[in-house]
Structure 1
């Protein structure tokens, strides 16, 4: 196992060079032209560095996806990494790829192009060392994770159903690079209230305010948040009314729901779906639903983490930790189908922020940990 780290340490400078190349190839989620260029580059890079094969999955509206395969076997391990970022075109001109004090900065370097590069180099190390697995390794590099996977969700779920394990190359958490063994499920709901308009000065009693009704519903939903169970309702956006002197006829709200378990999901969703008006004369319509199911820390997920923790301690000399994340990833989609271990990407900070960064000397360490996990879970021949 130690040979894997030695190989990746030897490749560190090359790894950073490839990191710079992909960061400088911008890939905003809704900029198909740019994302498609990155997809072409990722497909070619995977083949050149690993000797595996890759396929471009054409997408009419959003960016193309890449499916890449290495090795062979009746069983497969699925690896997930997204190519898109939240940064608009030409951000690289204002936030150029920069190395300072042992850290690399740039749009998407941490979330999650660093993990993508580490994943490819992990397989390269296995190839260079002649380590073959009994399981096929399938990478899905998708183009739309940052916008909720409108075109890749089904593909991810279908591959997960065929997989024994799933590894997600999203960034680690905190300065320790903790793995993510729990991710909250996410629901987005839209509430529309219809009231009865009237003149606010001359006939206020004849009106029923949709805005007042939304206020009641906001307080009601927020009262059901429970930090102990990890369930949160957040009415994050409200709009409505037509003028200050009109009792509002219409009002709308957007609600973010986060839960840690399927059981809590079953309890929380009806609270939104079955909202009852507090004011006589108002009507409520609710649309939307669950965007991502929760990634729960099942026994099999715990076993995967225990394996990673032992590899880190025995062969890399550090204590690997785990944390729960309130955010979502591609791993939420795979969790109901196969044990999923998330956060195997880089150590750094600043996802979606101007100070986005990756700690460079941790890249070969994290890449080695991932390669060792593949070797351990893939069953070396």
Structure 2
């Protein structure tokens, strides 16, 4: 398993580099072919390479991704290593170790009949080209297992996830000379400031009631990127603010969408455009409850400590499988920490127990 993990980590696969993702797909496909006895279906959509294996009539979908957030050349500063039981390297936790565990879990079974494996190449950037594949592949399945890393170094599974939305509020003003006749302009920078405060008010309005309904707590609306103006001596004619939204329920996500699209300009003469919208739907706790209980029982059967479950704010492809109506359990991949950071690592000793637990889950649900 370590040799396979090294091979995947050494093939860098930054999401934005489609050629690198295609090379990674070849390596992942060859690993799967060796362990599963069959090559994948290679699907390229808008330049992004995805892989799918289908065995019989699927009842279980295994979901993973082979792209990473690490820019090309990251191996020079974050080389592959295994020291004192800790594996390191770009994407080692998120989620190349999860792929290795997934393939080895399937290889340990007498048969792969009833299983579909989908490994996409754009999860880290929102799964725009693979969403339809995910929803198509999960149709008719009784369970979806997502090989994202565990929530912490105790191997905690992810039993709920917030849904994500992305907005950009564009302010159209009117340029004028800032010294000679500023009164003839419509200052987009001032209007952007008003909109940041209005967005904060929406976040406050989603507070206590929303938090009481969901273990994920209240929705969050976070202004992130701000820009306005084109020159120091010109009244800004254009301004923008990007907004990151995390919502615990579909109802909260819908309410936020209505409120965002209802924003109005405060500065006379300014005009607003609200771009973007919903991305991933929430993965609500009900979708994982039965599978989580099963995982706890199976861990006990295997002599392992039953895992804990936790609701998290980040999204994954499990949001899509859950929203499609398929029971979904997430965080079944590697145990470690530091995803997307310099400290990214995998605890090697946990790879085999996690593989055994996944194999048992597949056997009991297909």
Question: TM-score, length-normalised on structure 1?
Answer: 0.89
- 1:81 aligns to 2:69 (yes or no): no
Aligned counterpart in structure 2 of residue 152 of structure 1, from 124, 130, 145: 130
1:93 paired with 2:71, answer no
What is the alpha-carbon distance in structure 2 between the residues aligned to residue 26 and residue 182 of structure 1?
A: 30
TM-score by length of 2: 0.92
Q: Structure 2, unaligned stretches of length 5 or more? A: 212-216
Distance (Å, rounded) in 2 between the aligned partners of 1:202 and 1:53: 70
Partner of 1:322: 309
Q: How far off its partner does 1:269 sit?
A: 0.6
> C-alpha offsets along residues 273-332 of structure 1, whole Å, 9 cap, x if unaligned?
11111122111011111111111111x420111101111123232031111121111111
Aligned to 2:358: 370
Preserved CA contact (<8 Å) 2:46 2:129 = no
8 Å CA contact 1:179–1:343 kept in 2: the answer is: yes
1:200 match: 178
Matched, 1:310 2:297: yes
Aligned-pair RMSD on alpha carbons? Answer: 1.7
Q: How much has 1:60 moved relative to structure 2?
A: 5.0
Instruction: Assess if the C-alpha contact under 8 Å between 1:46 and 1:52 holds in 2.
Output: yes
Contact 2:95–2:148 (8 Å) recurs in 1: yes
The residue matched to 1:351 in structure 2 has which SS? coil
- Asked if 1 retains the 8 angstrom alpha-carbon contact of 2:175 and 2:234, the reply is yes
Runs of 5+ consecutive residues of structure 1 not aligned to the other structure: 1-14
What SS is found at the alignment partner of 2:302?
helix
* CA deviation vs aligned residue, 1:239-276 (integer Å, no higher than 9, x gap): 11123333222111111111011011111111111111
Structure 1 runs, 4 residues or longer, greater than 4 Å off: none
* Residue matched to 1:102: 85
Q: Does 1:23 align with 2:6?
A: no
- Classify 1:69/1:53 alpha carbon distance in 2 versus 1 (closer, same or farther; 3 Å): farther
Pick one of 52, 56, 63 that aligns with 1:67.
52
Structure 2 residue 122 is the aligned partner of structure 1 residue 137: no
Deviation of the 1:58 alpha carbon:
3.2
Instruction: Give the structure 1 partner of residue 31 of structure 2.
Output: 45
Return the offset for 1:75. 4.5
Partner of 1:234: 222
